[in-house]
Structure 1
Amino acid sequence: MGTEELVEVVLPGKVEPEGLEVRHGAVPTAGPGQVVIRMEATGVSFAEQQMRRGRYYDQPAFPFVPGYDLVGTVIATGEGVQPDLAGTRVAALLKVGGWASHVLVDAADVVPVPDGVGAAEAETVVLNGITAWQMLHRKARVRAGQTVLVHGANGGVGTVLVQLAHAAGVKVIGTASVRHHEALRARGVVPVDYRSGDVAARVRELAPGGVDAVFDHVGGRSVTDSWRLLAPGGTLVSYGSASTRDAEGSKQWPVLKLLGRVWVWNALPNRRRAYFYNVWAGRALAKNRFRTRLHADLTQLFAALRSGDVTAEVAARLPLVRAAEAMRLAESGTIAGKVVLTP
C-alpha cells in the first residue's frame, strides 16, 4: 500500500456536475471489523442525480462523497476480520462514499464476486440488480406466464429487471423512448413509447385484463395510472419519484405522498397490493437479516451474470476524475444501462 494515495470525488453542495470536486488524501486504515477496498468500479445511479440537486430523501449534509455501491479488491483487514479476505474481489452497497479510490467498509457488508465476473459487469448488478431482484421476487413474487409492466425498461434498474423477468418466464411490457425500442424487442420486451400520448391506454390494449405487476420509479401521476393497470391479485411496486427530480420544495414530500397512497390503496377492500420499495428497508431493525438477504440475492445475481441470464449493460466507462462527464452522460437520457466509474 506504501505509495498509494486516496482520490475521491466530493459533492460540495447543490451544483452542476462540473461543480464536483476531486480531492486527494491518505488511504484510510481498517479499524476493528472493517476492510479497506481498492475500488475497481463504482456507478452513477439515479440517487446521485437527485443528491446533487439536494433531492434525495435521506441524503447526508453537504459536503460528502457520493457513490451508492462499488466493486473492488480488499487490500487491508482490521482486527477481528478473517485475514484471508485480503486479495478478494468484493461488492458492497453503501448509499454514499463509493466515488473514491479506497473505501472503508464493514467486513460484514461485503459480498464476494465470483471468478469470471469482471468488476464493471458486477457493478451493474449491485444497486440496480438488488433493487430489480428484490422487487421482482420478494415483493411482486412473479410466476411464469404472468405479464408485468416495467417503466424505464432501458434504465439501470429496468435493464436488469426485464432480463430477470424473462429468465423467470414472465412477459414484459416496457416503457422507453423510441430510440431504445429495437434493443428492447431484441430482449423479448413489448415496448411502449412513454412520450406518445396515453401510455395507460396502450398498455390496456396489450393486456386487456390488466397486468400482474407494475414497477414504477416515476412517481407522481404515473403511480396512480400504474395502480389502475393492475389485474385482480396484481402488485404495484413503486420505487422512486423520478418525475420530481427537478422540482423545488421538500425532498421528503414526494416520498411521503407515495407512502400515503400505498397505505390507502392497501386499506381498500380489493385483491391488489401496493409497496414502496426501499433497498435499505429493515436494516435499522434487523441488520443481520438484512445482510443475509443481501448476500443471498447478490450471490444469485452474480450467478445469473455467469450463466448469461443477465447480460451486464455498461453504457460507458470513465475514470473517477471524470465524474462530472459521467454524471452528464447518465442524466442525458440517451443511454441504456449503467455509467461506470473506474480508478
Structure 2
Amino acid sequence: MRAVEITGGAGPAEALTLVERPYPVAGPGQIRIRVRAAGVNRPDLLQRQGRYPPPPGASDILGLEVAGEVDQVGEGVDRWRTGDRVCALLGGGGYADQAVVDARHALPIPDGVDFIQAAALPETVCTVFANVFESGALRAGETLLIHGATSGIGVTAIQMAKAAGARVVATSRGAEKAEAARKLGADLSLDSGSDDLEAAISVFGGVDVVLDMVGADYAALNQSVLKPFGRWVVIATLSGSLAQVDLARLMMKRIVLTGSTLRARPADEKARLISAVEATVWPWVASGQVRPPLEATFPLDQASAAHLRLEAGGHVGKIVLTA
C-alpha cells in the first residue's frame, strides 16, 4: 500500500515521502479501513518536526483521523461488517491507503456526510467534546470563549457549543477570520490583532469556559474575563507554555485551570469517549448542525503541500488528504 513516511529534513518537502509498505492486518478487536480521506492536524506537524512522537504501539505513519470503508474485520468484532462506511480516531497511521484501528474507536458515517467531511470529524470532535463538554463542563446558557476560532478545532467548537445551546465568543487574527467565525455562529467575534479583547469580552458579560489553544499570551486575559466558577481549558500552547498565573485571582474567582491531550489516552478511555461522542454529538452531525468547513483537500502524494497550507496559518476550517 501507499503510505507517507517521515524521512528527515526540516520542511515538509524534505521530510515527507510517499513509499510502499505491506498492508496491515486487523488483529483481534480491530478493523482495517480502506482509507478514502484523512484529516490533517497540528499534531501531525509536530510529529514531523520530531516534537511529538507516537505513543507506544502506535503506527509511525502520520494521521490521527480517517474515513473510508471497513475491508477487514478482526476476531471478536461484532459491530462492523465489510463495506461499512466509518470514520475513526487513530493513534497514527492515517496517511496511507489502509489503516488498522481498535474497532471501538470507529464511528458510523451518517447519511449525507461524504468521506472528506467525515475524515474531518473524529480527532476534532473528540478533542472538543473531551475538553469543552467534559473538562470544561459547558452547559446550555453559558458562554464559551474560543481562542484560535478559525482553526479546525475552533470552527468545530463553535458549532458544537451552539448546538448545545451555549453562547460563543471567538478570537482570531484578522478581519476576514473574525467575519468567518461570526458566520459560523459566534455571538461575538473579535480580531485579536486590532480589537481590545478584554474590554469587549467584559462588556459582553464575561465567559464561563475558555478553550485555549494559544497559551502564555492570553493567560492574563483569560483570568480577567472568566466569571466566578469559570473553567480554563488549555489544549495547545502556540504562544508558549510558560504563563503567569495569579493564584489569588484563581482562588477568589474559584477558577478551575486544566488541560489535556487526546492521542496518548488509553484505548479503553478513547472507547468511552467515542461512545459519548456518538450519543451526544453524532445527532448534531446527522442533522447538519456540526459540519466543520473545509479549507482545502490534497491528494495523499501531496501531503507536504497540505502541511505547508496548515503551517501558513491562513486557513479557516479543516485540511484533508484524499486517497
Q: TM-score by structure 2 length? A: 0.88
Matched, 1:188 2:188: no
Describe the SS at the equivalent of 1:85.
coil
Deviation at 1:162, TM superposition (A): 0.8
Instruction: Name the SS of the counterpart of 1:312 in structure 2.
Output: coil
The 5 Å alignment of 1:96-107 reads 96-107=92-103
Listed as ranges, the matches of 1:211-230 within 5 Å are: 211-230=207-226
C-alpha displacement of 1:9: 0.5
Gaps of 5+ in 1: 1-5, 245-253
Name the aligned partner's letter for residue 295 of structure 1.
Answer: S
Which residue of 2 is the match for residue 321 of structure 1? 301
Aligned length: 319
Three-state SS of the structure 2 residue aligned to 1:150 is strand
TM-aligned CA distance change 1:300 to 1:125, over 3 Å? farther
Residue 276 of structure 1 corresponds to which residue in structure 2?
Answer: 259
Decide whether aligned partners of structure 1 residues 7 and 17 sit closer, same or farther in structure 2, where only a CA change above 3 A counts.
Answer: same
> For residues 137-173 of structure 1, what are the alpha-carbon distances to aligned partners after superposition, in whole Å with 9 as ceiling and x for unaligned?
2122222322221101111011011111112222211
Q: Structure 1 stretches (4+) deviating beyond 6 angstroms? A: 57-61, 264-267
Structure 2 residue aligned with 1:112, among 108, 112, 125? Answer: 108
Of 142, 149, 167, the residue aligned with 1:153 is 149
User: Does the 8 Å CA contact 1:14/1:52 hold for their aligned counterparts?
Assistant: no
Residue in structure 2 matching 1:7, options 2, 6, 13: 2
Check the 8 A contact 2:182/2:189 in 1, yes or no. yes
- 5 Å matches for 1:1-343? 6-19=1-14, 20-56=16-52, 64-82=60-78, 85-177=81-173, 178-189=175-186, 190-196=188-194, 198-207=196-205, 210-244=206-240, 254=241, 268=251, 270-280=253-263, 283-284=265-266, 287-343=267-323
Alignment check: 8 A CA contact 1:40 1:119 kept: yes
Does the C-alpha gap of structure 1 residues 181 and 139 become closer, same or farther in structure 2, counting only changes over 3 Å? same
Cα deviation, residue 289, structure 1: 4.6
CA distance in 2, matches of 1:306, 1:84: 19
After TM superposition, give the deviation of residue 45 of structure 1 in Å. 0.5
Range moving further from structure 2, 171-180 or 183-192 = 183-192
Query: Do the aligned partners of residues 326 and 84 (structure 1) sit closer, same or farther apart at CA in structure 2, a change above 3 Å counting?
Result: closer
What amino acid maps onto 1:232 in structure 2?
P
Is the contact made by 2:214 and 2:238 (CA closer than 8 Å) also made in structure 1? Answer: yes
Distance 1:52 1:224, change over 3 A: farther
Q: State the TM-score, normalizing by the size of structure 1.
A: 0.84
Deviation at 1:59, TM superposition (A): 6.3
**In 2: Cα distance, 1:37 partner to 1:191 partner:** 39
- RMSD after superposition: 2.7
- In structure 2, what is the Cα distance between the partners aligned to 1:40 and 1:232? 46
Determine the C-alpha separation between the residues in 1 that align with 2:11 and 2:169. 34
Partners of 1:76 and 1:58 in 2: CA distance: 24
The answer to whether the 8 Å contact 1:40/1:71 transfers is yes
| Residue in 2 that maps onto 1:249 | none
Letter paired with 1:89: R
